[in-house]
Amino acid sequence: MNGNPEFFERLLTEAFEVGVNAAKPLMGVQQCWQGEIRQWLDTVAPERKAVWVYGAGKAAASMASALEFASSDAEQLKGFVVTRRGHEVPTRCIEVVQAAHPVPDEEGQRAALRLIRELSAVPQGDAVIALVSGGGSSLLSVTVPSIPFLDLQQLNRALLASGAPIQEMNVVRKHVTRSLGGQLAACCSVPVFQLLISDVPGDAPEFIASGPFVADDSTFRDAMDVLDRWEISAPQSVISHLEAGIRGDVPETPGRDSAVFKQVSTRLLASNALTLDAVALYLQNAGYTVLSLGDSIEGESRDVAGVTAAMVAQIAQGRPNWPRLPVALISGGECTVTLTEKDLESAKGGRNSEFLLALFHALGSMEIPCSVSALAADTDGIDGVGGHAGALLLPGDLDRAATLGLSTKRHLDQHNSYDFFDAMGRLLMTGPTTTNVNDLRIVLIGQPAEAV
C-alpha cells in the first residue's frame, strides 16, 4: 500500500475538520432564528418578558452561544444548559453546567432535577427554547424514586458494554428516569421550540438524547425486552421498576396522543448526513469518486470493518460494477463494541479506533494493489476511553506495524485499539469539537494525480 503518508494524513484530517465544521451549530441556529424562531415567539408569546433556554448534550453549550449571537440581545434570554465536562464554551447570559458522560454523575442528576423545577416554573406568557444534542441521555439522567442513583450508573455501564444499538439503549433509559422520553415536555406549561443536533442513525427525534421533549411510544415491556435480548444484567431495583410499569402500577412515558406535545415545535439543525455531504464535496474536489455508504451504518465495529475491507479489495482490484480509482468510501452512523467483564480489564479505545484496527487487520491478509488510507473518528472529538477522537491508517503502516512488533489480532482480542495506534503514532487528537453528529469513517483507495 504505497503512497505519501504526509499527503494522506493532511487530506484525511482536513476532510474530518470539514465534516465537523458542517455540523457546528452557529449557522443553523442563525438561519432558524431569522427564518422561524422570531416569528414563532411573536405568535405564541407576544407579551413575553423573557425567553427561557434549557438544554443538554455535548453540543448544548455551543448551541447556547450560537443562540445568544443570533438573538443579538433582542431578547432577554435566561436559563441554563448541561454539557459534558470539557465541552463548555463561553456564554453571556445562558449558564453552562458541566456533568459526566457517558455514565451519569451526581452533578448531572442535580442539573436534571433543577431543570425539571425551572421548566415547571416558567411564567405564563413566556416561552422556552430547548437545545438538545447527543449525550443528553446521560447528562439528564435523574432516577425515578425507586431506583438508587448508583443502580442507574451500574445500568448505564451495562448498557454501554452490551453492544446494543443506541436506539434500544435509549428505550431503557426513558423508562428508568424522570426526564427522558417526553417527560420534560410534560412538566412545562408554556410553548417550546426545540432545536436538535442528531447523533443517532436515522435522526429520529425520539432517540436524540432519548427525546426529553418528544413523544415516546415505547413501553416498559419494550425496555424489559431490550434487557433480555442483549442479556443485560440490570440491578434488581431496575427490574422491579420495569415490572411495576408492565403491570400498570407506574404510568407510561407520554405518547404521541398526549396533549403536551401540541405546544412543542421541533427543528433538526445538523446531522451525520450533513457532515457526509460536506466531506463528499471536499473529497470530490480533491480528485476522488465518492461512494457514500450512508449515515445509518450500525453493527459490531469489527464486523463492519470486515465488510468494508472486502469492498476495498473489490475496488482496488478493479472488479466490474465498482467505480474506477481513485475512490473514497465514506460512511456515518454508530457501530458498537460488545465487552465482557473480562474485556473491561484491558479495553482501551473506542468504537472508531476498533473499527480501524479491524480494518487494518483484514487488509493485512488481502492483495491490495494500490495505496489505502483511512480515518475513523467520533465527530464530538472523543472516541471511548483515551481522550482521542479516533485514529488514522496511512500507506506503509502494515510494514510499520510489523517493524514495531505490533499484533493487530492481539490488540483486537484485548479491545485495546488505543495502545496500538498510540505506538504507531496514528491517534487523532482533536479535543472536544463542541458538536456531535456521530461517527465519520473515510477510506481512500488509490490516489489522485497530485499525490503520485
Tell me what pLDDT residue 343 has: 87
Do the domain assignments include residue 365?
yes
Do the domain assignments include residue 318?
yes
Q: Which of 270, 297, 313 is the last residue of a domain?
A: 270
- Categorise residue 197: left if φ over 0, alpha if ψ from -120 to 50, beta otherwise: beta
Q: Does 195 share its domain with 323?
A: no
CB 30 within 8 A of CB 69: yes
Residue 330's closest CA among 274, 410, 246, 400?
274
pLDDT tens-place values along the chain, 452 residues long = 567 999 999 999 999 999 999 999 999 999 999 999 999 999 999 999 999 999 999 999 999 999 999 999 889 999 999 999 999 999 999 999 999 999 999 999 999 999 999 999 999 999 999 999 999 999 998 999 999 999 999 999 999 999 999 999 999 999 999 999 999 999 999 999 999 999 998 899 999 999 999 999 999 999 999 999 999 999 999 999 999 999 999 999 999 999 999 999 999 999 999 999 999 999 999 999 999 999 999 999 999 999 999 999 999 999 999 999 999 999 999 999 999 988 888 899 999 999 999 999 999 999 899 999 999 999 999 998 899 999 999 999 999 999 999 999 999 999 999 999 999 999 999 999 999 999 999 999 999 986 65
Q: Does 388 share its domain with 426?
A: yes
Give tens-digit pLDDT for 364-406: 999 899 999 999 999 999 998 899 999 999 999 999 999 999 9
Q: Which of 270, 299, 333 is the last residue of a domain?
A: 270
Give tens-digit pLDDT for 37-46: 999 999 999 9
Q: Does 196 share its domain with 257?
A: yes
> Structural domain of residue 420, as residue ranges?
5-19+273-446
Tell me what pLDDT residue 73 has: 85
- Cell representation of residue 7: 499527503
Residue type, 407: S
CB 330 within 8 A of CB 273: no
Q: Does 345 share its domain with 439?
A: yes
The CATH number of residue 307's host domain is 3.40.1480.10
Do the domain assignments include residue 316?
yes
Which pTM value belongs to this model? 0.93
Q: Does 112 share its domain with 195?
A: yes
Q: Does 280 share its domain with 211?
A: no
Q: Does 32 share its domain with 68?
A: yes
Do the domain assignments include residue 164?
no
Do the domain assignments include residue 227?
no
- Omega within 30 of 0 (cis) for the link into 102: yes
Do the domain assignments include residue 328?
yes
Do the domain assignments include residue 284?
yes
Give tens-digit pLDDT for 333-375: 999 999 998 888 889 999 999 999 999 999 999 989 999 999 9
Question: Distance of CA 161 to CAs 166, 199, 283, 309, Å?
Answer: 12, 19, 35, 25
Do the domain assignments include residue 240?
no
Q: Does 301 share its domain with 193?
A: no
Q: Does 11 share its domain with 52?
A: no
Tell me what pLDDT residue 451 has: 63
The CATH number of residue 113's host domain is 3.40.50.10180
296-300: long-range contacts, CB 8 A cutoff, minimum separation 24: 296/201, 296/202, 296/332, 296/333, 297/201, 297/331, 297/332, 297/333, 297/334, 297/335, 297/441, 298/165, 298/201, 298/333, 298/334, 298/335, 298/336, 299/335, 299/336, 300/163, 300/335, 300/336, 300/337, 300/338
User: Measured between alpha carbons, how far is 183 from 130 in angstroms, rounded to an integer?
Assistant: 13
CB 439 within 8 A of CB 333: yes
Q: Which of 236, 270, 304 is the last residue of a domain?
A: 270
Tell me what pLDDT residue 452 has: 56
Q: Does 331 share its domain with 185?
A: no
Alpha carbon 159 to its chain centroid, in Å, reads 15
Tell me what pLDDT residue 406 has: 97
Q: Does 195 share its domain with 293?
A: no
Residue 393's closest CA among 334, 445, 323?
445
Q: Does 257 share its domain with 400?
A: no
Question: Distance of CA 127 to CAs 176, 211, 361, Å?
Answer: 28, 19, 54
The number of domains in the chain is 2
